Amino acid sequence: MIDKTFDELLSAITTKALRGDPVDRDELLAVLASTDDDLLDVIAGAGRVRRMFFGRRVKLNYLVNMKSGMCPEDCGYCSQRLGSTAEILKYSWIDTDEAAQHARSAINAGAKRVCLVAAGRGPGDRDIERIAETVAVIKGSAPQVEVCVCLGLLKQGQADRLRQAGTDAYNHNLNTSAGNYARICSTHTFSDRADTVAAAKAAGLSPCSGAIVGMGESDEDIVDVVLALRELRPDSVPVNFLIPFQGTPLGGHWELTPQRCLRILAMFRFAFPDVEVRVAGGREIHLRTLQPLALHLANSIFLGDYLTSQGQPGRADREMIADAGFVIEGFDQPTQSARPRDLVITRHRGAGTTAPANT
Ligand code: SF4
């Protein structure tokens, strides 16, 4: 592989991803290590993969922060962490009516998925019941909307209860590689996180799990977390760019360039050709004027604001999608088309074989 020119390598990676075949570790590392001179070629290759599996559709997701701040965990990137002095909104659980009202306005603005998120290590059973009620109210007025819940580490039986209540998906990000995990958090482990994603999936919830980049990790760390995610077989993969809140250990840490963000998104697309890749937190502040190029790589974004920071106006998100020639994915369109690789069955009967023809 090393003997190939980057152009040859990129073409081989694109062909593999278009077939839905796994792109390997060295190939993913090569995408991350490519130069700014190669960037448009990388976007063109990954963009072909994106269009093959998702056309020009962009799925809109909307975050409702159900309970903000005062988390006992110490994730270094998080403005809601233990000891954070970031000037964020802090409040306890909002009620069902308020959550449903936010969900309704997001659905009216084009959101296909509503994500109910609460800060904390994990929910108590009362919290699960509170969320179950909110899910029921949202689904009662908009049965077609996807509801994803993100409450931290789950205990036995909680994923089943969420599923029973009509929850569609559960989000829990792996965030960074197993090897880098202790550097960003000391109150829980990488395996705790992976176990929760597996438990959610086992309960029939659609697993949503992704990463945060821009925390001082190496290319190897990013590829390691991608490979760990691939083993969990998520249905959606959010890619967050660190929002370096002052008052957190990573406050003021700016290491990403828009070009680097695009290479990272392209690498995620090659790694997850037919899986929803979502540009998540930090889109506006890191990609800046290059945001529309990200739509050629990711097929999903958050509409409007993030958990504790503001995004660009929802109208600007919708205009950007239209200007770049993409369309907002509707409720009647599946996020993932039937996977072409699953539909193709190689013929082993009829002409050229000794097996009877299919007549
Ligand atoms: S990421 Fe979640 S668990 Fe970690 S500090 Fe923030 S709210 Fe708490």
CA nearest ligand 1 atom 5, residue: 81
Q: Report yes or no on 338 lying in a domain.
A: no
CA nearest ligand 1 atom 4, residue: 75
Q: Specify whether the CB–CB gap between 25 and 223 falls below 8 A.
A: yes
Distance CA 75, CA 173 (A): 12
Q: Report yes or no on 77 lying in a domain.
A: yes
Q: Report yes or no on 342 lying in a domain.
A: no
Residue 306 Cα to ligand 1 midpoint, Å, equals 14
pTM: 0.92
Q: What residues form the annotated binding site for [2Fe-2S] cluster?
A: 115, 148, 208, 278
Q: What are phi and psi of 291, to 5 degrees?
A: -50, -45
CA nearest ligand 1 atom 7, residue: 119
Residue 80 Cβ < 6 Å to ligand 1: yes
Residue 75 Cβ < 6 Å to ligand 1: yes
Nearest in space to 286 (alpha carbons), one of 358, 214, 349, 188 = 214
Q: Report yes or no on 355 lying in a domain.
A: no
Q: What pLDDT tens digit does each residue of the chain (359 aa) get? A: 556 899 999 999 999 999 999 999 999 999 999 999 999 999 999 999 999 999 999 999 999 999 999 999 999 999 999 999 999 999 999 999 999 999 999 999 999 999 999 999 999 999 999 999 999 999 999 999 999 999 999 999 999 999 999 999 999 999 999 999 999 999 999 999 999 999 999 999 999 999 999 999 999 999 999 999 999 999 999 999 999 999 999 999 999 999 999 999 999 999 999 999 999 999 999 999 999 999 999 999 999 999 999 999 999 999 999 999 999 999 988 887 655 555 455 677 888 888 887 77
Q: Provide the domain limits for residue 119.
A: 6-328
Residue 207 Cα to ligand 1 midpoint, Å, equals 18
pLDDT value of residue 357? 79
Name beta bridge partners: 61: 113, 302
Q: What residues form the annotated binding site for [4Fe-4S] cluster?
A: 71, 75, 78
Q: Report yes or no on 336 lying in a domain.
A: no
pLDDT value of residue 352? 84
Distance CA 141, CA 226 (A): 36
State the alpha helices, DSSP H only, in 166-257.
181-184, 190-202, 219-232
Distance CA 5, CA 3 (A): 7
Q: Report yes or no on 358 lying in a domain.
A: no
Residue 253 Cα to ligand 1 midpoint, Å, equals 18
Residue 179 Cα to ligand 1 midpoint, Å, equals 19
Residue 76 Cα to ligand 1 midpoint, Å, equals 9
The CATH number of whichever domain residue 85 belongs to comes to 3.20.20.70
Q: Specify whether the CB–CB gap between 318 and 305 falls below 8 A.
A: no
Distance CA 279, CA 300 (A): 6
pLDDT value of residue 117? 97
Which atom of ligand 1 is found nearest the CA of 188?
3
Residue 152 Cβ < 6 Å to ligand 1: yes
Nearest in space to 152 (alpha carbons), one of 197, 191, 185 = 197
CA nearest ligand 1 atom 2, residue: 119
Q: Specify whether the CB–CB gap between 320 and 292 falls below 8 A.
A: yes
Residue 67 Cβ < 6 Å to ligand 1: no
Count: domains in the chain? 1
Catalytic residue numbers, as ranges? 71, 75, 78, 115, 148, 208, 278
Residue 81 Cβ < 6 Å to ligand 1: yes
Which two structure tokens, joined as six digits, stand for 202?
A: 């086992």
pLDDT value of residue 2? 53
pLDDT value of residue 111? 97
Nearest in space to 282 (alpha carbons), one of 205, 183, 187, 214 = 214
Q: Report yes or no on 87 lying in a domain.
A: yes
Residue 153 Cα to ligand 1 midpoint, Å, equals 10
Residue 86 Cβ < 6 Å to ligand 1: no
Residue 78 Cβ < 6 Å to ligand 1: yes
Q: Report yes or no on 208 lying in a domain.
A: yes
Residue 88 Cβ < 6 Å to ligand 1: no
Q: What residues form the annotated binding site?
A: 71, 75, 78, 115, 148, 208, 278
10 Å CB burial of residue 45 (0-12, 13-18, 19+) is: buried
